[in-house]
Amino acid sequence: MKVLVLMGSDKDADRMAPASEMLERFGIDHDVIVASAHRTPERVAEIARWARGSGVAAIICGAGKAAHLAGAVAAHTTLPVIGVPISSGGLGGLDALLSTVQMPTGMPVATVAVDSAANAALLAISIMGVTDDDLAEALMEYREEWT
73-96 in b/e burial notation, b at 16+ Cβ within 10 A? bbbbbebbbbbbbbbbeeeebebb
Segment-wise mean pLDDT, segments of 10 residues, the chain, 147 residues: 96 97 98 97 98 97 94 97 93 93 94 98 98 97 91
Report whether 80 contacts 124 (CB < 8 A): yes
CATH class of 2-142: alpha beta
Q: What is the spatial distance between Cα 25 and Cα 111, in angstroms, rounded to a whole number?
A: 22
pLDDT at res. 76: 97
